[in-house]
A and B are shown apart, each in its own frame.
Chain A
Amino acid sequence: MLARAGAGGRSWLLLALALVLAAPVLVVAGSWLAGPSPNWPHLRATVLPGYVWMSLLLALGTGLGTLVIGVGSAWAMARLRFPGHRLLEWALLLPLACPAYLIAYTWTGLLASEGALQQALSVPLPDIRGPAGAVAMFTLVLYPYVYLMARAAFIGQAALAQEVARTLGAGPWRRFFRVALPLARPAIVAGLALVLMETLADYGTVAYFGVPTLSTGIYRTWFGLGDRLAAAQLAGVLLLAMVVLLWLERHARQQRRIAGNGEPAPPRTLARGPGSLLAALLWLPILLGFILPMLQLLLWSLPRWRDLLAPDFLALLGTSLLIAGATAIAATTLGLLLIWARRLRADRPRRAAARLAGFGYAVPGTVLAVGVVMVLATVDRGLNDGLAALGLPTPGLLFSGTLFAVIFACTVRFLTIPVQGLDAGLQNLSPNLDSAARSLGARPAALLRRVHLPLLRVPLATSALLVFVDTLKELPAALVLRPFNTNTLAVRAFELASDEQLADAALPALAILLAGVAPVVLLTRSMRVPHAPSG
């Protein structure tokens, strides 16, 4: 007879692991415990109101912009049929491949006085480097979040709700504003919350446009003012906003209403004229948010194609792939460990561990960078002091001064992706599969190897790919945490662009953009097929 001793002890180990992964965030949140930094009154009197005001302004503008484009396109795609509908269905997601900072610098080049557009149109074009330009850039690349959520909600609405409204004499406008829109509201709010989180988290765009926000403020306070505590406390303010948005998003998800069971309303086919007009209108955000920037990048890259094989670019590519690959493996493995352990035994520490692991995505790269440096520097100092005290050789900045810091930060930030993906994947599997395997003699390790891993192949691969691409695109954490003289594609593109070497930045930018298309393709596949058979 064997007792199941040790399972409880392992639960606390798992919670400890989750706490280590959450440490950078907790350190930032806890930075207020020490009392405000000596610089805080000064910050509050001078720059802080401006940071907060500007962040709110960008959030408001981007929220409105994405709402109009996202809801409008979602409704048109869900309810109407017109020429090119199928192509548009996934093309509308393409701007998602573009990090905002890339399209920001590409558009700066496009609109520059010597740029292609200016030459072709021969009219003076506005300078987009300002708050309005930033809102435009965010709107162009972030509206797909609202589009995705709203589209699913509109498609899910049963015809019945519309038909009931018709029998009560409601015309098309009234039906849209009084029936379709309210029913889709929770989904739209959830999408909007994601948009606002991305907007507030952005560093590259606002830094490039010289727009002072909380995000750039953290960076400036840290490296300009040299006050790490004040930077952490600013990061804490931003974190608070994120927590509110995260709560809003989760709350909205729970509120999602089932708009009656039954057949969805059949879409209406538009006549050729209005249909083509609508299609042209819907292509506009894709043109501005993906096609034109892509063409501009290609145009810049073509004369430099030889640089592809230059040692500089290969080193850049190698570093980026190494970081992205290591992060993808680390995040997927850790996510699997935490989610699977909770499946095996859902006690309190294991549930807490899995929940802790899901919060990283809400933490902007700048905030995370502050936290990671604070944690790893402490670890390094402790390690060096300890070894020195023992008379052993000291390893230097083993964690904070190496690629480990970047990989750690990205793992914390993107751990949410495998956690959510694998959680959903496991929830699709009947708990009785586990019971069946165990009653047939399979120990936990065999259960994982023979049942769960084969059945989780798809979510595992998807999560790994998504983490890989997101890490490739990640700018602020890499910018702050990379070791001296080491660059990633994203950092290099940003640095060159900031130095007005727009054309030189094109090659790394194009690499990021192309990598970004992969998850979009995945997303469109999951939109088409309800769920692939896992057998």
Chain B
Amino acid sequence: MLTLDRLSLRFDHQPVLDRVSLTLDQGRIGCLIGPSGCGKTSLLRLIAGFLAPASGRVMLGDETVADAHQQMPAEQRRVGMVFQDIALFPHLNVTDNIAFGLNHQPPAARRARVAELLALVGLPGLGDRYPHQLSGGQQQRVALARALAPKPRLLLLDEPFSALDAELREQISREVRQILLREGITALFVTHDQNEAFALADQLGVMHGGRLLQWDSPYRVYHQPADRTVADFIGGGVLMPGRVRDPDSVETALGPLRGPLPAGLAAGADVDVLVRPDDLVIDDGGPRRARVVECLFRGARMLYTLELENGQRLPCLAPSHHAHGPGTSVAVRLDLEHLVVFPRGRG
């Protein structure tokens, strides 16, 4: 449905987006994640038609809607958008907000569509309220209904839940995913919240410095990050030094680790191995000992920082039935499903 082909963008000759390519199939939900300033919001605004690319192409279905020479005006693209600051029209009530994009339809059809959407987002009976009379969560639902009303080809959502508090955010994001699936909408989100991204997305993209580093399923982005930056940004792991022993194993402070290695790594080469907090298990029968440096209580889990004998520090997420205080020694074992190895000194 949505195809971006080597899309680049510049502001005042500063590159903002650098050859971004991706495809999002009809009815799928995509999510772009990255630190602030990585260009993810600019990418959404470019797809919506508020910015023009320096080079590359934006396609909706088979139709090119923007390239370096010609851009279809935003108002003709039929691309809906939900904004970070919600941006409901303050002078219109809920009904008129939702009906804003339906002004070419006969009144009866308009009323029916508004009623349908109010029911869909769970706000029947609130049509006469004005935005300032609604809670943050209600406003966000109205914004979604407004964007969905004209049946857009694609829905863009720019950090739609960041104005909500943490609890509400999770609930609303779940609801939104269900609404989008039910309506069969193709949608592209932007967020900087990993949990939100994992919960919402069929396809996940990690952006950094204007480039799309990886565009994949959330599972693969987490377990098979394309490069160090992705590994660093997703999942709170650390990179632990190791040395290649033979074509399918690496020697580390936690012993030899087996698994497929990137091609072209000779025995003896220095590498970094990705260790995630859930890869390290505290186990009395574990082969190595580690000292607890710090422990953070997180309710069901405890996040430890452990130090191995060689001084290497690693995160460890463990059930909180047992508490190990700072300074105590524990036995650990590595439970690595996916071996992720990056050659040292290069990307």
User: CB-nearest residue of chain A relative to B101?
Assistant: A440
Q: Restricting to A412-436, which residues have a CB under 8 Å from any CB of B?
A: 430, 432-433, 435-436
Contact across chains for A439 and B75 when beta carbons are under 8 A apart: yes
Which of A2, A437, A440, A455 has most chain B Cβ within 10 Å?
A440
* Nearest B residue to A436, CB-CB: B87
The answer to whether B75 and A451 have CB atoms under 8 Å apart is no
**Chain B positions 148 through 159: 1 when the CB is less than 8 Å from some CB of chain A, otherwise 0:** 011010000000
In the complex, chain B residues whose CB is within 8 Å of the CB of A436: 81, 83, 87, 89, 100, 143, 146-147
Q: Given the complex, which residues of B lie within 8 Å of A430, measured CB to CB?
A: 83, 85, 87
B194 CB to nearest chain A CB (Å): 25
Q: Which residues of A contact B103 (CB under 8 A)?
A: 441
**Smallest distance from the beta carbon of B328 to chain A beta carbons, Å?**
44
Closest approach, in angstroms, between the C-beta of A407 and any C-beta of chain B? 32
- Please give the distance in Å from A141's CB to the nearest CB on chain B: 38
B83 touching A432, Cβ below 8 Å: yes
Choose among B48, B84, B132, B150 the residue that contacts A441 (Cβ–Cβ < 8 A).
B150
A306: interface (CB < 8 Å): no
Question: Is A528 an interface residue, CB under 8 A from the partner?
Answer: no
Instruction: Provide the bound-state CA to CA distance between A465 and B67, in Å.
Output: 47
Q: Taking CB as reference atom, which chain B residue is nearest A533? A: B132
Within 8 Å of chain A (Cβ to Cβ): is B76?
yes
Q: How many chain A residues touch the partner (CB < 8 A)?
A: 23
Q: Does B222 contact A (CB under 8 A)?
A: no
A:4-23 near B, CB below 8 Å: 4
Query: Are B90 and A3 neighbours in the complex by a CB distance under 8 Å?
Result: no
In the complex, the answer to whether B91 meets A3 with C-beta atoms within 8 Å is no
Partner of B75, one of A433, A443, A534, A535: A443
B:99-130 near A, CB below 8 Å: 100-101, 103-104, 130
Is B100 touching A440 in the complex (CB atoms < 8 A)? Answer: yes
Give a binary string over A440-475; 1 marks a CB under 8 Å from any B CB, 0 the rest: 111100000011001100000000000000000000
Asked if B80 CB lies within 8 Å of chain A CBs, one says yes
A34 at the interface (CB under 8 A from B): no
Please name the residue on chain A nearest to B100 by beta carbon: A440
Judged by a CB distance under 8 angstroms, whether A1 is at the interface is yes
Bound together, the chains give a CA A439 to CA B84 distance in angstroms of 15
Query: Do the beta carbons of A1 and B132 come within 8 Å of each other?
Result: no
Any chain A CB within 8 A of the CB of B314?
A: no
B143 contacts across to A, CB distance below 8 A: 436
Task: Establish whether residues B74 and A1, one from each chain, have CB atoms under 8 Å apart when the complex forms.
Answer: no
A435 touches B100 (CB 8 A): no
Question: Does B73 lie at the interface of the complex (its beta carbon under 8 Å from any beta carbon of A)?
Answer: yes
CA distance A443 to B81 in the complex (A): 16
Please determine whether A535 and B74 come into contact, CB atoms closer than 8 angstroms. no
A-chain residues with CB within 8 Å of residue B84 when the two chains form the complex: 432
B74 touches A435 (CB 8 A): yes
Complex: chain A residue closest to B132, CB-CB: A535
B100 touches A534 (CB 8 A): no
| CB nearest neighbor in A for B70 | A3
Task: Tell me if A438 is interfacial: C-beta within 8 Å of chain B.
Answer: yes
Find B73's partner among A2, A437, A451 (CB 8 Å cutoff): A2
CB pair B89 A438 closer than 8 Å: no
Complex Cα–Cα for A204 and B249 (A): 95
Please give, as numbers and ranges, the residues of chain A lying within 8 Å of B77 by CB-CB distance: 439
Given A439-B147, A455-B90, A534-B91: A2 touches B72 (CB 8 Å cut-off): yes
Q: Is B289 an interface residue (CB 8 A)?
A: no
- Alpha-carbon distance A4/B65, docked complex (angstroms): 12
- Find chain A residues with CB under 8 A from B73 CB: 2, 4, 438, 443
A1 adjacent to B50 (CB under 8 Å): no
Q: Which B residue sits closest to A429, measured CB to CB?
A: B90
Chain B positions 9-64 with a Cβ under 8 Å from a chain A Cβ = 45, 48-50, 63-64
Contact residues in A for B242 (Cβ distance below 8 Å): none
| B231 at interface by CB-CB < 8 Å | no
Contact of B50 among A435, A441, A535 (CB under 8 A): A435
Question: Which chain B residues numbered 227 to 268 have a C-beta less than 8 Å away from chain A?
Answer: none
Asked if B79 is at the interface (CB within 8 A of a chain A CB), the reply is yes
Whether B64 contacts A455 by the Cβ 8 Å rule is no
Interface check B71, CB cutoff 8 A: yes
- Report the Cα distance A1→B52, complex, angstroms: 14
Min distance, Cβ B190 to any Cβ of chain A, angstroms: 13
Given the known inter-chain contacts A432-B85, A439-B79, A535-B132, please indicate yes or no for A1 contacting B72, CB distance below 8 A.
Answer: yes
Q: Which residues of chain A come closer than 8 Å to B64, judged between CB atoms?
A: 1
Determine whether the beta carbon of B91 is less than 8 Å from that of A438: no
Which residues does chain A contribute within 8 Å of B343, judged by CB atoms?
Answer: none
Q: Which residues of A contact B63 (CB under 8 A)?
A: 1
User: Is B131 an interface position by the 8 A CB rule?
Assistant: yes
Which partner residue on chain B sits nearest A457 by CB separation? B91
| Residues of B with C-beta under 8 A to A433 | 87, 89
Are B150's CB and A440's CB within 8 A?
yes
Question: With contacts A450-B100, A455-B91 known, is A438 near B74, CB below 8 A?
Answer: yes
If the complex has contacts A440-B150, A441-B75, are A435 and B70 also in contact, measured as CB distance less than 8 A? no
Nearest CB of chain A from residue B140's CB, rounded to whole Å: 13
* Residues from chain B with Cβ under 8 Å of A4 in the complex: 71, 73
- Bound state CA distance, A535 and B64, in angstroms? 39
Tell me if B90 and A534 are in contact (CB < 8 A).
yes
Chain A residues packing against B (C-beta within 8 Å): 1-4, 430, 432-433, 435-443, 450-451, 454-455, 533-535
Q: Which 7 pairs of residues, A with B, have the shortest CB-CB distance? A: A440-B101, A432-B87, A432-B83, A438-B74, A439-B81, A535-B90, A454-B91
Ordered by A's residue number, 14 sampled pairs between the chains whose C-beta atoms are within 8 Å are A1-B70, A3-B69, A4-B71, A430-B83, A430-B85, A430-B87, A436-B83, A437-B100, A438-B74, A439-B74, A440-B100, A441-B75, A450-B100, A451-B91
Further 15 A-B residue pairs, CB within 8 A, beyond A442-B100, A535-B90: A1-B70, A3-B69, A430-B83, A432-B84, A435-B74, A435-B83, A437-B89, A438-B74, A438-B75, A439-B81, A440-B147, A441-B104, A441-B150, A442-B75, A533-B132
